Amino acid sequence: MNLQALVRPNIWHLTPYSCARQEYSSGHATVFLDANESPYNAPLNRYPDPLQRELKQAVERIKGIPEANTFLGNGSDEAIDLVLRVFCEPGVDNVTAISPTYGMYEVCAHINNVAYRPVTLGAGFSLEAERVLAATDAHTKVIFLCSPNNPTGNTLAREEVDKLLERFTGIVVMDEAYSDFSAQRPYRLDLTAHPNLIVLNTLSKAWASAAIRLGMAFAGEEIIELMNRVKYPYNISLPTQQEALAILGREAQVKEWVQSILAERTRLMAAFARLPICQEVFPTEANFFLTRVDGATRIYRYLIACGIVVRDRSRVELCGNALRITIGTPRENDALLDALKEYKA
Ligand code: PMP
């Protein structure tokens, strides 16, 4: 891979902002008069570590990816935006993605004035690598993939993903926000074999910490260095770094939560399949499932009136009359089932 040919020239030549805490890093100082901070209200008076070293070491213990291959962002949404800003020249370059998928790839592309080329998934929401490759041209810098995919829930076939990784000369982003709920081998373990791969993870799903906004991108060192150059200097707040360290220290608890969500997923999907309104429940490896029902939008509104919010995906490609249901606690799932049993078509 020729990285320089993929990166926007202004980013390749960028001299990044050098912040006070980055310039000083020997660790012996006790008097900090370098960053125009207040001396009061410790520890919130101090700027946080711009490269989040301690947190990245904790991430490495869980995910097995070295610090130099890890970018931490304000949610994975920040990483998605940075990939576009690093690689895509506005008004010139384009990106390709599967459809349907997570909506932020398209919104971020449009915010950056980068053309977005969605390629409709095949039967059973399957990835067809040849069709994705056919949608690319010399200005396609990035292909966005998501597995397990949102909103469909299925994983993408590894042979098809591998075809893209091997034959596409640009960057392949594999968003694995939901991989903790899946039995598939995560793509972050294949990073060394694929220099053009960027894998996204998040603490917002299985790690139960959407509020703190902590996303991860794993990639080759040079790509991570480019993302670090472009990000805001102190993009992860101290409270977020502290809460992230705390939840990463509770891995056993998180695994229990995941097991309980998976057990509830099996139960809720089986109960759904028996509801008279349900036409189809699609296979899933995420903490949600997609279901085709009779009159999705009417059911969605009925549930709102019952105080229950699900996601109406019926206007999304391939998702006519489909609702996306997140797995909740047993009580929440029962509330949903009880409401649907009372529903009159
Ligand atoms: N990727 C996917 C596939 C998602 O579904 C979501 C959130 N719904 C995100 C990324 C965003 O994650 P974060 O909270 O880390 O920004």
Torsion of CA 38, 42, 45, 49, to 10 degrees: 130
341/86 Cα distance (integer angstroms): 50
For ligand 1, the distance from its centroid to the CA atom of residue 325, given in whole angstroms, is 16
**Which pLDDT band, with edges at 50, 70 and 90, does 20 fall under?**
confident
In DSSP terms, 146 is beta-bridged to 175
Q: Give pLDDT, residue 64.
A: 97
Locate the ligand 1 atom nearest the alpha carbon of residue 203 and give its number. Answer: 15
Query: Nearest residue CA, atom 16 of ligand 1?
Result: 75
Best mutation site among 76, 218, 235 for ligand 1 pocket (most ligand atoms within 8 Å of CB): 76
28/198 Cα distance (integer angstroms): 36
pLDDT per position as a tens digit, 242-272: 999 999 999 999 999 999 999 999 999 999 9
Cα torsion 67, 149, 209, 76: sign: positive
> Contact 99/119 with Cβ under 8 angstroms?
yes
Q: What percent of the chain has pLDDT over 70?
A: 99
Ligand 1 contacts (CB < 6 A) are 75-77, 102, 146, 150, 175, 177, 202, 204, 210, 215
Q: Give pLDDT, residue 345.
A: 84
3 state SS of 299: helix
Furthest CA-CA distance within the chain: 70
Residue 104 carries which side chain, given as an amino acid letter?
M
210/203 Cα distance (integer angstroms): 6
> Contact 188/176 with Cβ under 8 angstroms?
yes
For ligand 1, the distance from its centroid to the CA atom of residue 202, given in whole angstroms, is 7
Q: Give pLDDT, residue 158.
A: 98
For ligand 1, the distance from its centroid to the CA atom of residue 28, given in whole angstroms, is 39
Q: What are phi and psi of 277, to 5 degrees?
A: -75, -10
Using the structure block, give the residue that is written with the tokens 């040849």.
Answer: 130
pLDDT per position as a tens digit, 38-63: 999 999 999 999 999 999 999 999 99
pLDDT per position as a tens digit, 214-241: 999 999 999 999 999 999 999 999 999 9
pLDDT per position as a tens digit, 149-186: 999 999 999 999 999 999 999 999 999 999 999 999 99
283/124 Cα distance (integer angstroms): 9
248/63 Cα distance (integer angstroms): 10
Locate the ligand 1 atom nearest the alpha carbon of residue 210 and give its number. Answer: 14
For ligand 1, the distance from its centroid to the CA atom of residue 76, given in whole angstroms, is 6
Locate the ligand 1 atom nearest the alpha carbon of residue 149 and give its number. Answer: 3
Locate the ligand 1 atom nearest the alpha carbon of residue 74 and give its number. Answer: 16
6/89 Cα distance (integer angstroms): 10
**Which pLDDT band, with edges at 50, 70 and 90, does 21 fall under?**
confident
3 state SS of 204: coil
Q: Give pLDDT, residue 167.
A: 97
Q: The sheet that has 311-312: what strands, in order across it?
A: 278-281, 288-293, 322-326, 311-312
For ligand 1, the distance from its centroid to the CA atom of residue 151, given in whole angstroms, is 11
3 state SS of 143: strand
129/127 Cα distance (integer angstroms): 6
Q: Give pLDDT, residue 22.
A: 75
For ligand 1, the distance from its centroid to the CA atom of residue 244, given in whole angstroms, is 16
Neighbours of 307 (CB within 10 A): 8
For ligand 1, the distance from its centroid to the CA atom of residue 178, given in whole angstroms, is 9
Q: Give pLDDT, residue 43.
A: 96
Residue 200 carries which side chain, given as an amino acid letter?
L
Reply yes or no on whether the pLDDT at 28 is more than 90: no
Query: Nearest residue CA, atom 13 of ligand 1?
Result: 75
